[in-house]
Amino acid sequence: MAEKLQDIMKKGWSIWRKNLVLSVPFILSLVLIIILVIVFGIAIALLTFSGLADFSGMNILNIVILALATVLFIILISLISSFFSAGAIGMSKKAIEQKKPNLDEMTDYGKRKFMDLFLASLIIMVITLVSLILLAGVFIGIPLAFGFSPSDSIVSFIPMIVGAAISILVLIVIGLALAMVPYAVVISDLGPMEGVRKGARFFLDNRLHTFLLWLIVMVISIGSSAIFNVIQFIFEQIPLLGIILSITITLISVAFSTVVLAPLSTVWYSHFYMDRVK
């Protein structure tokens, strides 16, 4: 019999408290991504100041160089994220099975599943982009083809406004429908395409509870971020110490997201998937 969602969340909280090592994949991922951002920034600065590349004048060569560098940068970040996400899910699986997770399991799951997870994320990105392109064609392309121009009147903006609203809704639906794909790929040990199908089927079989868990995680994430932002705004008004206190609150907010919310939500999703998967 399937466990109640509140029981899964209570057990997830207990599992996280007893296994703080579950935070390590997210900490390492954050550190490596920060290092990569710094290296990328330094490389661009060196190329610019050395005269090897002049990004102030956007000729074709500079555009190609910048585009290739940006694509490479995004791919590297995605690969790092996929590696540590796979490791975190694998460690969560072990913890839920009442086994002590360790960093060896993080590297094992990371090495075995990071490419599948990366390719699954590419499939999801393609699905999202195709959906947005089709919506843009319907709500922007077709009106323009029939001679409607946004400069004509306020009424001509209506299709674009409706299209933007529907696009946001579509992004939410796609994100929700495919939220369990990483867990299907890692926990069920599936390939990227099979993982996407399995994750989508899982959502269709557990629509309400998947939505509720997703909503709870989103509320906690947005709520905590709002609280930290309010505190940061208040501290910024304090003379002299305001900047130091503001930076401190920012660091605490990042630490909360990395050490608490990310591993805790991973345990919740992993436990939910393991409990309901067929």
Q: How far apart are CA 89 and CA 93, in angstroms?
A: 6
Per mean pLDDT, which range of 20-34, 146-160, 185-199, 252-266 is the poorest?
A: 146-160
Please give the DSSP secondary-structure letter assigned to residue 3.
P
Report the pLDDT value the prediction gives residue 240, as an integer from 0 to 100.
Answer: 77
Token couple for 39: 């290296």
121-180 tens-digit pLDDT = 999 999 999 988 888 777 666 666 666 665 555 666 676 777 778 888 888 999 999 999
Domain range for residue 215? Answer: 5-276
Residue 24 above 80 pLDDT?
yes
Question: Is residue 95 within 8 Å of residue 164, measured between CB atoms?
Answer: no
pLDDT for res 278: 77
Query: What distance in Å separates the CA atoms of residue 104 and residue 91, rounded to the nearest whole number?
Result: 9
Residue 257 to residue 268: CA distance in whole angstroms: 15
Cα distances from 10 to residues 5, 14, 90, 216, 272, in angstroms, run: 9, 6, 20, 13, 12
Give the pLDDT band (50/70/90) at residue 52. Answer: low
Residue 267 has pLDDT above 90, yes or no: yes
Q: How confident is the model at residue 263 (pLDDT cuts 50, 70, 90)?
A: very high
pLDDT digits (tens, 9 = 90+) for 61-102: 767 777 888 889 999 999 999 999 999 999 999 999 988 899
pTM for this model (two decimals)? 0.88
- Domains identified in the chain, total number: 1
What are φ and ψ of residue 172, in 5° steps?
-65, -45
Mark residue 98 as left, alpha or beta (left: phi above 0; alpha: psi -120 to 50; beta: remaining): left
What's the rounded Cα separation, in Å, for the pair 244 and 217?
30
Tokens 């290739």 label which residue? 68
